[in-house]
Structure 1
Amino acid sequence: MGTTMECPDMHVLNAQAELWNLTFSFIKSMALKCAIELGIPNAIHNHGQPMTLHELHAVLSLPMNNKPNLWRLLRLLTHLGFLVVQDTSKSKEAAYDLTPISHLVIKKADSTSSLSFALAMLDFAIMKPSLHLGDWFKQDKLEICKMAHGCTFWELTGKRPELNTLFNDGMKTDSSIISDFIINEHGNVFQGISSLVDVGGGSGTVAMAIAKAFPKIECTVLDLPQVVGHLPTDGLVKFVSGDMFSNIPPADVAFLKWILHDWCDEDCIKILQRCKEAIPSRDAGGKVIIVDIVVGPVGSIHRESQLLFDVLMMTLVNGKERDEEEWWNLFKEAGFTSYKITGTLGIRSIIEVYP
């Protein structure tokens, strides 16, 4: 007597497919890293027009036996939106072209490339702490980065000069891109102010852009001595060595670009309290301008990227990304009375906070 096998429920098979997609999502990152390391975006950019598989294979000087494998990589990169196929007709070989995403990682002499940031984030040292998440959840108050590397992320960059350079270059590039957008699209947030201090502003990329666009604003950059101690103090902006947890130079506006997400709530409150001490009353023009992620509601366009950044902050620096309610709780605890979100910058927002 024969037996009949029951067909698996399609819901189970679909769920399995989604599970596998999650399981192998790391391949997306590795394909991106490979494309950058091979120089695919630069090859197409330098060619000045879309390139066929044959042309790319020749320019990249890859072994002949890897030509079919290059096609498989290009197929995935096209599916992911990193590249686009311009011609798929049977009479002509498909040609691959850049997209807005791949344009961001072209190696350029100016500061509009996100190449350094991408390579820094794809460095194994950055990814390694995430491999310890399961063990970390069973621990008590031990930072994941310390579990993975035996030191904090900032100590790690001190030990790895090449990683430190990539990371700092990436931050500088991001500052250049986002400052141009803030000034051009949301310059009204700087109206009526005469002085600004860029808290944790590094080499002053954002402050310099603001000072150039608004010459009447006196701009100061506050950062640690090892960051700004060697920088000139008689240029477009003034550099001040110090600790944002102790004291912030007085100004109409305290500006915090992608700073607070590096810190836990308690530390953020301390930083915000120092900012409040540095600025005048609201009637006198005092406020804090924050450029950071405000995690959107379920279904919002950039929510997945924001949540990925949140877990990255958890694994690297014991920081976090916050939704609007969490931000407001920080502001109240630090003694501020109101805020408004004045613009959207990709996955980040501009928040004006008032004493």
Structure 2
Amino acid sequence: MAHPTEDNVEEEVQAQVLVWNHIYQFISSMSLKSVVELGIPDVLHRNEGRPISLSRLASLISIPPNRTDYLRRLMRMLVFTGCFANVSKEGEEEKYVLTPVSRLLVKDKDTGVSPFLFLEMDPVMQSSWQSLGKWFHSDQPTPFAKAHGVEVFEMAGRSESLNRMFNEAMACDSRLVAKALVEQHRDAFVGVKSLVDVGGGTGSLAATIAKAFPSIKCTVLDLPHVVADAPKDGVVELVGGNMFEHVPPADAVLLKTVLHDWSDKDCVKILKQCKKAIPPKEKGGKVMILDMIVNSKTDDHKATENQLFLDMLMMVNVGGREREEHEWKKIFTEAGFTTYKPTDGTGLLSLIELYP
């Protein structure tokens, strides 16, 4: 039997470090969930940028003194990952402030992402990952369906708590994207007098567009149980319906992270309904798609990693996918569209203007 060489032993030791890193990545996300549940981002935010010591932080979140060192260890790990900053000098008690990452976890911040964190860390969503390996040998459409017996959108229609979590997560994501959209892509709205946000949830994205461009009449189309939870403020019109069957007519149709939920075949069906809803190109008709264009050749490793994470999330929970540009082009052509124009600049998402 061959014995490993010294070089091979060193290689295996280094490989073990990488494997452990993969195994324990869940610790970061679950720890992040715990500090949001404890209200730590909110406490630091209320201190208006001034550092808070470890002992003071423990007191403010009402944990007993014998838990203070455990809190220090939790914060030490999240400081290392960039979620918080320790600004104490050597020999001083630890003092913490928010970073750009943890500022997005403040509950009263309108672009905060904590609802997304709670959705993805919820046991209902996590259990689908436990079924991923077995799913490959099953006849279920998704690992989520393998775990629960129904698809995620069907379960959300039955479960008030899941529906609420899902709507809150989509709304918080839309508020952040909406600000970038109306600031960085203003030219895309020139000449648009009416717009339908298909799959627009509770209307946060459409409301931001309506406020930024008061001359545009904005409508949200989503499933009846989704729009039932939307605020009735008169800023946007809310329509309960099915995008596979009908899309209300408008100059422009907006699809924000909708198509990544669906197969190519279903995307073609949705886009054909959108094409019916808009006027010809020469009269200003277009579809505006906010979604990812996967680019594994970019130098931005974190951006690509997030795109691939999201692709796996779509596969596991809804049976959809993130797409490379040539995959988008195939769908557009099959749906009967002639040209498209992609533009970066909305975080991980691109704006794709699609013309009949």
Same fold (TM over 0.5): yes
Q: Displacement, 1:155?
A: 2.7
Q: Displacement, 1:299?
A: 4.2
Judging changes above 3 Å, is the alpha-carbon distance between structure 1 residues 70 and 118 closer, same or farther for their aligned structure 2 residues? Answer: same
Judging changes above 3 Å, is the alpha-carbon distance between structure 1 residues 323 and 88 closer, same or farther for their aligned structure 2 residues? Answer: farther
The within-5 A match list for 1:161-172 is 161-172=160-171
* Counterpart for residue 107 of structure 1: 107
Q: Displacement, 1:233?
A: 8.4
* Counterpart for residue 14 of structure 1: 14
8 Å contact kept, 1:111–1:172: no
Judging changes above 3 Å, is the alpha-carbon distance between structure 1 residues 68 and 191 closer, same or farther for their aligned structure 2 residues? Answer: same
**Secondary structure class of the residue paired with 1:9:** helix
> What letter corresponds to residue 13 of structure 2 in structure 1?
L
> Is 1:153 aligned to residue 185 of structure 2?
no
Give CA-to-partner distance per residue, 1:237-279, whole Å, 9 cap, x none. 3222321101111111111111111111111110011111111
TM-score after normalising by structure 1: 0.92
Q: Distance in 2 between matches of 1:261 and 1:5?
A: 46
8 Å contact kept, 2:167–2:202: no
Q: Distance in 2 between matches of 1:149 and 1:219?
A: 36
Judging changes above 3 Å, is the alpha-carbon distance between structure 1 residues 262 and 5 closer, same or farther for their aligned structure 2 residues? Answer: closer
> What letter corresponds to residue 144 of structure 1 in structure 2?
P
> Is 1:75 aligned to residue 69 of structure 2?
no
The within-5 A match list for 1:65-144 is 65-90=66-91, 92-108=92-108, 111-144=110-143
List runs of 5+ in structure 2 lacking aligned partners: none
**Secondary structure class of the residue paired with 1:294:** coil
Judging changes above 3 Å, is the alpha-carbon distance between structure 1 residues 15 and 209 closer, same or farther for their aligned structure 2 residues? Answer: same
The within-5 A match list for 1:217-228 is 217-228=216-227
Task: Point out the more displaced range, 132-141 or 20-29.
Answer: 132-141
* Counterpart for residue 187 of structure 1: 186
Q: Displacement, 1:224?
A: 2.2
List runs of 5+ in structure 1 lacking aligned partners: none
Q: Distance in 1 between matches of 2:322 and 2:292?
A: 6
Q: Displacement, 1:186?
A: 1.1
Q: Displacement, 1:106?
A: 1.0
Q: Distance in 2 between matches of 1:88 and 1:13?
A: 35
Q: Distance in 2 between matches of 1:322 and 1:34?
A: 33
Q: Distance in 2 between matches of 1:340 and 1:164?
A: 34
8 Å contact kept, 2:167–2:226: no
Q: Displacement, 1:327?
A: 0.9
Q: Distance in 1 between matches of 2:143 and 2:339?
A: 35
* Counterpart for residue 40 of structure 1: 40
> What letter corresponds to residue 131 of structure 2 in structure 1?
H
Q: Displacement, 1:66?
A: 2.1
Q: Displacement, 1:157?
A: 2.4
Q: Distance in 1 between matches of 2:236 and 2:61?
A: 43
Q: Displacement, 1:162?
A: 2.5
The within-5 A match list for 1:278-297 is 278-297=277-296
**Secondary structure class of the residue paired with 1:283:** helix
**Secondary structure class of the residue paired with 2:238:** strand
**Secondary structure class of the residue paired with 2:260:** helix
8 Å contact kept, 1:186–1:343: no
**Secondary structure class of the residue paired with 2:345:** strand
**Secondary structure class of the residue paired with 1:35:** helix
Q: Displacement, 1:232?
A: 8.6
Q: Displacement, 1:343?
A: 2.7
Q: Displacement, 1:149?
A: 1.4
8 Å contact kept, 2:157–2:225: no
Q: Displacement, 1:236?
A: 2.9
Q: Distance in 2 between matches of 1:209 and 1:233?
A: 15
Give CA-to-partner distance per residue, 1:56-104, whole Å, 9 cap, x none. 22222223332222111111101111001112322x3231111111111
Judging changes above 3 Å, is the alpha-carbon distance between structure 1 residues 205 and 232 closer, same or farther for their aligned structure 2 residues? Answer: closer
**Secondary structure class of the residue paired with 1:245:** coil
* Counterpart for residue 65 of structure 2: 64
Task: Point out the more displaced range, 56-65 or 224-233.
Answer: 224-233
Q: Distance in 2 between matches of 1:208 and 1:5?
A: 64
> What letter corresponds to residue 53 of structure 1 in structure 2?
L
Judging changes above 3 Å, is the alpha-carbon distance between structure 1 residues 222 and 19 closer, same or farther for their aligned structure 2 residues? Answer: same
Q: Distance in 1 between matches of 2:286 and 2:322?
A: 21
8 Å contact kept, 1:293–1:347: yes
**Secondary structure class of the residue paired with 1:221:** strand
* Counterpart for residue 332 of structure 1: 333
Q: Distance in 2 between matches of 1:293 and 1:24?
A: 27
**Secondary structure class of the residue paired with 1:75:** helix
Judging changes above 3 Å, is the alpha-carbon distance between structure 1 residues 340 and 151 closer, same or farther for their aligned structure 2 residues? Answer: same
Q: Displacement, 1:180?
A: 1.6
> What letter corresponds to residue 44 of structure 1 in structure 2?
L
The within-5 A match list for 1:185-334 is 185-228=184-227, 235-301=234-300, 302-334=303-335
Give the number of aligned pairs.
350
**Secondary structure class of the residue paired with 2:15:** helix
8 Å contact kept, 2:128–2:317: yes
TM-score after normalising by structure 2: 0.92
